[in-house]
Chains A and B, each alone.
Chain A
Amino acid sequence: MHIMEGFLPHPWWEIWLALSLPVVGYGVYRVNNLIKEQRNALPLLAVSGAFIFVLSSLKLPSVTGSCSHPTGTGLTAILFGPAITSVLATIVLVYQALFLAHGGLTTLGANIFSMGIAGPLMGYTIYKIFMKSGFNLFLTVFLAAAMADLTTYIVTSLQLAMAFPASSGGVLASFTAFAAVFALTQLPLAIIEGIVTALMFKYILQAKSDVLLKLNVISETTLVKIKESLT
């Protein structure tokens, strides 16, 4: 969920930009190291970035009839980890602002924080914890993707609430109001994106599971086990 250009007032857009920049900087450092290690990482990261952009420009099938797009943050975080995701998300967000008029340039920092940092971090953590405890893979992917979406939506509501606290009740009251307004579109969206991401995982596993092995997303033993249960 993007905050549109011009909506975040003066101190806040600078604050979120200042918070996001070090994380993206760290991501760039990590990507740099990765490319020094493996030369063929750059083209693969590039096609993944383009994939995220194209995925996020598609319309999800939705119940409410509202215009809803997947964020793709959960999937990217599972595949590449949060640091690299923040770099890809930054580039994708700039392109979304310039190609689709979604989001904005002054609100870029806030959007990077919610969609490129907080959401992916949540998705990645959930994925790692649940996989380690031997939970069902598809359920884990569903949870990770849905929770990444929900986190993005909650952080965005919080960002708006902090910028516009209510006169009576302060940030908390205003957070409830923003969260309530956006819940209508964001809750079904998170569930649908979770289902779609889990299904996607299934198809990728069936058709090209070596990618997942190469990215260290799953171990060889779990892959064999899951493939057996699928056939």
Chain B
Amino acid sequence: MHDMLDDYVYTNAIRDVNPKLKLLLGLSCILICVSSTSPIAPLIVATSMSFIILVIAKITWRLYAKLLLVPLSFALLSSLAIIFMQGETSIFTFTILGFSFSVAIEGINLALLLLSRTLGGMTALIFIALTTPMIDIFSILKSYGLPDLLLELSMLIYRYIFLFLDEVTMIRNAQILRLGYSGFSSSLNSFAMLSSVLFIRAWEQGERLIVAMDARCYNGRLGVMESRVSLSWRSIIAVVAYLGAITIIAVMTRDIGTI
């Protein structure tokens, strides 16, 4: 099973900082990373975000490293494809199984740029995920006019994700105890059984849910608690100064390649 980031978000050390400010910080960092043309700004974002996540928000490094592993493996694989396709002047060429591969400076530069952008963007995304609880994001989205239907659907889905995860863990443990995953074909069968039972239970939950909601006078709208967290001037100035500095660095280093 996965580590759900949501398990940690309520206990992080900057849970009580204004959620709009945290979203502004994370989203701006993502945008700066994506539009930066040199790897320097994204790398600065990645280090500073990691610092905030690990030291200020007090997330354990073990969890953080595990979270970064999946996106980085995707980025490495894709960069590998890019290295061999870009650029005219190759620095070295080698042959595997009759195919010749050549590596050019442009290819390496682009691959490094993409790796740094993904690293910066992912750390900023993980920052949002680990510090801003979903209920805060819901109330922000509501205040910015997300259609009621989408909000409603998202909130109900959010609620049921955790119920079903519990259910899955229970069924899976029972299956493992009965050697359900001892071979490849039995694993396939057990997995299919697990997901079909999950679907059926989910469906029954849904049928009961409408009755429960009707009994509580559901009129097509769930209320969202507006969280009112005061904004401190210190934190606003810190975020604005940080974003300004990163933007200036990104603009100033726009022509710098890696090699």
Contact = CB atoms under 8 A, between A and B. Distances in A.
Interface in A19-77: 28, 31-32, 35, 39-40, 42-51, 53-55, 57-58, 60-61, 63, 67, 70
A146 to B, nearest CB: 14
Interface in A182-225: 182, 192, 195-197, 199-204, 207-208, 211
A110 interface: no
A32 B125 contact: no
B122 A164 contact: no
Interface stretch (A95-103, A120-128, A147-155): A95-103
B187 interface: yes
B10 interface: no
A137 interface: no
Contact of B161 (A8, A53, A87): A53
Interface string A156-184: 00001000101111000110011011100
B210 A40 contact: yes
A60 B86 contact: no
A98 B81 contact: no
A61 B153 contact: no
B134 A98 contact: yes
B65 to A, nearest CB: 12
A13 interface: yes
Label chain B's interface by main secondary structure. Answer: helix
Contacts of A57: 1-2, 165
Interface size class of A (residues with CB under 8 A): 35 or more
Interface string B82-112: 1011111000000000000000101000100
A87 B110 CA distance: 34
Contact of A6 (B118, B191, B198): B118
B51 interface: no
A51 B196 CA distance: 10
Nearest to B87: A167
Interface of B: 1-2, 4-6, 27, 30-31, 33-35, 42, 67-68, 70-71, 74-75, 77-78, 80-82, 84-88, 104, 106, 110, 114, 117-122, 124-126, 128-129, 134, 137, 147, 149-150, 152-154, 156-161, 163-165, 168, 181, 184, 187-189, 191-200, 202-203, 205-207, 209-210, 213, 220
9 contacts: A7-B78, A28-B149, A31-B153, A42-B152, A61-B187, A87-B153, A91-B150, A99-B6, A104-B30
5 tightest Cβ-Cβ pairs between the two chains A and B? A6-B121, A199-B192, A46-B156, A50-B160, A61-B187
